[in-house]
Amino acid sequence: MFKTIRSITGQSGKMLTRATWYTVLEMIVNAAPAGLLFVVLASLLQEEVSLQRMIWWTVSLLVMFALQALLASRGQIEAQSNGASIMKDVRLRLGEHLRKLPMGYFSRRDQGEISHTLLANVDEVEMILTHLFNQVIGSIILPIVSAVFLLFIDWRLALAVIISVPLALPLLFWSQHLMGKRSMKRQAAAAALQSRLLEYIQTIRLIKAHNQTGQRFTRLDQAMARLRDDSIRVEVITSPVVMLFSMILELGFVVLLLTGTYLLEGGLLDTSIFFIFLAVSMKFYQPLRSAGTALTQMRFMASAGERIRELFAQEALPEPKHPRLPNTFNIELENVDFAYGDKKILNGIQFQVPENNLVALVGPSGAGKSTIAGLISRFWDINGGAVKIGGIDVREMQSEELLAMISTVQQQPYLFNESIEANIRKGKPNATIEEVIEAAQAAHCHEFIIRLPQGYDTVAGEGGAALSGGERQRIAIARAMLKNAPIVVLDEATASLDPENEVYLQRAINKLAQNKTVLVIAHRLKTIQSADRILVVDKGKIIEVGRHVELVTQNGLYHRLWLEQQRLGGWRIKGGSSEGTKRA
Ligand SMILES: Nc1ncnc2c1ncn2[C@@H]1O[C@H](COP(=O)(O)OP(=O)(O)OP(=O)(O)O)[C@@H](O)[C@H]1O
C-alpha cells in the first residue's frame, strides 16, 4: 500500500512530514492527562487533597487540552497543504503522461475510466495523505504511549492490557487482504458507471432523436446496480472481520479485570493502581479500534492508487535520444504495415506526397484512410516499414516538434467551451487579435462570427455545440491557418453541407492548402478533381494511383465510386457547388 503511494507520488520519505510529527506530539500530550489522573487518584485515596492543589491540576489539565487542540489543528493544516501540493504535482504529471501516450491507449480505454482515474482516484489518494495517514499514526502512537506509561506503573496489569493485541492483529491483516481484493472490483464498477454516465450525457441528443431513453437508461441502471452490489459486498465481507478484530482487542479489558481482581484479593495490588488501569486502558483500546477502521479505509483508498500506478505504467511512445529535424516537408510511406493490436489494418502501404503537393486518399469506409493519416503524426508506431518527413523517420523526431509541423483538421473538429477567439488562438497561443481575425477571414468564418450576438467572444459550447458542422470546420481551418504548419492533414466532412456552407468551406480549404504539403482524406470525389495525385485505398492496401481524369477512365474502384456519387448527386433537391479542393 505504502509502496504504491510512494511510487505514484514519487516522494520517498515525504509521507512522514511535519504534520506527522505534530500528530505524534499531539498524542503524547493526549496521554499526559492519564499521568495527572494517576496523581489525583493517589492523592484522593490518601486523602491529601486540597482546593489549591485541585485548582493547579485543573489549570494543568486545561493547558494540556489547549496544547493538544493547537497541535491537532497545526497537524491538520500541515497535512492538508502537504497532501494537496503533492497531489497537484501528481495531477500535472498524469496530464503530461497522458499527452505522451500513443492514441491506441485511448481507443482501448473508455473516456469515463480515464476521467475516473484522473478525478475520483486522485481525490481518494489525496484523502490518504491529508487525513487517513495521520489518523492511523495518531491512533497507533497513543496506545504505545499509554502502554509504556502502564508498564512503568505495573508490568503485570500492563501485560494483561496488551495481551489481546497480538491475538487481534492477524484479523486486521486479514481484513486488509480482503479489502485489497474487493476494492479493485468496486473501483472498476465505479469507473464503469462514470463511463456510462458520460456516454449518457454525451449522446442525450441522439438518444432522444431515436427514442432510446429507456434502452440507454437500462445500461446506466445496470452500471449503478453493479456499483451498489460491489459497494455492499465490500462492506459485507470486510466489516465482520474488522468487528471481530475490535472484539478480540477488547477481550484484553476482561483479562485486565480478572487479573486486577485476582491481585487485589491476594493483596498484591493497590486499589488506586487498579483504578488508573481501568481508566487508562480506554486510551489504549479505543484508538486501536479507530486505527483498525482507518487502516481498512486506507487500504480501500490505496486501490485508487493502484489505478493511478497502472496509468503511469502505460508506456509512452519512445522519444529519440538524438532528435532530428527535417529541412523539407515531403511525406513518404515506405512499405508500411500496421495493426491495432492483433487486427492487421495496413499492408505494405507505399506512397509519396512531394513538398507542396496535394495528395488525396479515397476509398470505402473502414479501408484505413484515417489510420494512414494518423501515422504521419505518429499517433501510433508502425509494425513494419517507415514513415518519413523530409527523408527523416518520424520516430527520429521529438514528438512535439513533429506535431508542430503538422496541422490536422478533423472530420468533426472539437471546439472547446470557450470563446471563438480562444478557440482559433489554439493554433498559435500568442497570436494577436488582428492575426486571429485575419485567419478567420481567410477561413471564411469572419462574416458569420461577427453576426453572432457576442462576435468573437461568443462561447462555442461544449465541443462546439452552439455552431453548425460547417461552421465548426471553418473555425478549425482558421485555427490551422494561424498555426501555419508546412504539412496539412485534412479529413474532409462526410456530411452534405448546405450549398452556401459547402462553397465557403471549400474556399477555406483551398486557402489553407496553398503552398503546403497536403494529404486529404476525401469523401466527396468532386472536391479532389484537381488533386496532384489520388490514392485509392481498399482493405488496407493502395489499389489504384493517378489523377482524377486517369482514374475515372479506368474500370476500377475509383470509377465505380465516382459513378455512385454522380448517381446520388442526382437525388439532391438542390444542386451543390462545383468547386473542389485544388492548388490555388
Ligand atoms: N483505434 C482503433 N482500434 C481498433 N481498430 C480500429 C481503430 N480505429 C480504426 N479501427 C479499425 O481499423 C479499420 C480502418 O479504420 P479507419 O478509420 O482507418 O478507416 P477509414 O478508411 O478512415 O474509414 P472512414 O472513411 O469510415 O473514416 C476499421 O476496420 C476500423 O474499425
Q: What is the DSSP-derived secondary structure letter of residue 555?
A: S
What whole-number distance in Å separates Cα of residue 119 and Cα of residue 122? 6
Burial of 268 (0-12, 13-18, 19+ CB in 10 A): exposed
Residues 6+ apart with CB under 8 A from 546: 533, 534, 554, 558
Check whether 367 has a pLDDT greater than 70: yes
Question: Which residue segments constitute the domains of the chain, with CATH numbers given?
Answer: 2-313 (1.20.1560.10), 350-373+410-569 (3.40.50.300)
Residue nearest to atom 8 of ligand 1 (CA): 371
Q: How many CA atoms lie within 13 A of 171 on its CB side?
A: 21
Identify the pLDDT of residue 510: 80
Say how many Å lie between the CA of residue 3 and the centre of ligand 1.
Answer: 40
Q: Which residues of 418-442 are buried (b: 16+ CB within 10 A; e: fewer)?
A: ebbbbbbbbbbeebeeebbbbbbeb
Q: Tell me, what's the ipTM? A: 0.96
Q: Read off the pLDDT band of 570 (50, 70, 90).
A: very low
Say how many Å lie between the CA of residue 540 and the centre of ligand 1.
Answer: 10
Best CA proximity match to 555, nearest among 527, 536, 580: 536
Three cell numbers, residue 452 = 453572432
Best CA proximity match to 109, nearest among 124, 98, 122, 121: 98
Nearest atom of ligand 1 to the alpha carbon of 540: 14
The strand pairing partners of 384, in sequence order, are: 337
CB atoms within 10 A of CB 53: 13
Whether the Cβ atoms of residue 379 and residue 102 lie closer than 8 Å to each other: yes
Identify the pLDDT of residue 162: 93
What whole-number distance in Å separates Cα of residue 517 and Cα of residue 442? 18
The string of pLDDT tens digits covering residues 540-560 is 999 999 999 999 898 889 999
Three cell numbers, residue 214 = 429507456
Identify the pLDDT of residue 464: 64
Q: How many CA atoms lie within 13 A of 508 on its CB side?
A: 32
The amino acid present at 100, given as its one-letter code, is K
What whole-number distance in Å separates Cα of residue 183 and Cα of residue 121? 12
Identify the pLDDT of residue 584: 40
Say how many Å lie between the CA of residue 461 and the centre of ligand 1.
Answer: 28
Say how many Å lie between the CA of residue 103 and the centre of ligand 1.
Answer: 13
Q: Which has the higher per-residue pLDDT, 386 or 524?
A: 386
Whether the Cβ atoms of residue 491 and residue 527 lie closer than 8 Å to each other: no
The string of pLDDT tens digits covering residues 123-140 is 998 888 888 888 888 888
Pocket of ligand 1 contains residue 367 by CB under 6 Å: yes
Best CA proximity match to 56, nearest among 36, 34, 31: 36
The CA-based angle 481-483-489, given to 5 degrees, is: 70
Residue whose grid cell is 484512410 = 369
Residue nearest to atom 6 of ligand 1 (CA): 340
What whole-number distance in Å separates Cα of residue 348 and Cα of residue 367? 14
Identify the pLDDT of residue 486: 93
Three cell numbers, residue 255 = 483479562
Pocket of ligand 1 contains residue 371 by CB under 6 Å: yes
> Which among 103, 110, 111, 369 is the best mutation to test ligand 1's pocket, defined by most ligand atoms within 8 Å of the CB?
369
Q: What percentage of the chain carries pLDDT values higher than 90? A: 31
The string of pLDDT tens digits covering residues 516-529 is 899 999 888 877 88
What whole-number distance in Å separates Cα of residue 44 and Cα of residue 420? 80
* Mean pLDDT (whole number) for 379-397: 93
DSSP 3-state of 76: helix
Pocket of ligand 1 contains residue 408 by CB under 6 Å: no
pTM here? 0.68
Check whether 582 has a pLDDT greater than 50: no
Three cell numbers, residue 305 = 492508487
What phi-psi label fits residue 539: left (phi over 0), alpha (psi between -120 and 50 degrees) or beta?
left
Identify the pLDDT of residue 577: 40
> Which among 371, 380, 411, 537 is the best mutation to test ligand 1's pocket, defined by most ligand atoms within 8 Å of the CB?
371
Pocket of ligand 1 contains residue 343 by CB under 6 Å: yes
Please, what is the angle between helix 213-265 and helix 155-162, to 10°?
160
Check whether 33 has a pLDDT greater than 70: yes
* Mean pLDDT (whole number) for 562-568: 81
Pocket of ligand 1 contains residue 365 by CB under 6 Å: yes
Q: Write out the DSSP string of 498-510.
A: PHHHHHHHHHHHH
Q: Which has the higher per-residue pLDDT, 353 or 566?
A: 353
DSSP 3-state of 345: strand
What whole-number distance in Å separates Cα of residue 20 and Cα of residue 78? 9
Check whether 433 has a pLDDT greater than 50: yes
Task: Cite the beta strand spans of 354-455 per DSSP E.
Answer: 358-362, 384-389, 392-393, 406-409
Q: Where are the alpha helices (DSSP H) in 266-349?
A: 271-280, 282-313
What whole-number distance in Å separates Cα of residue 162 and Cα of residue 169? 12
Q: What is the DSSP-derived secondary structure letter of residue 319?
A: P
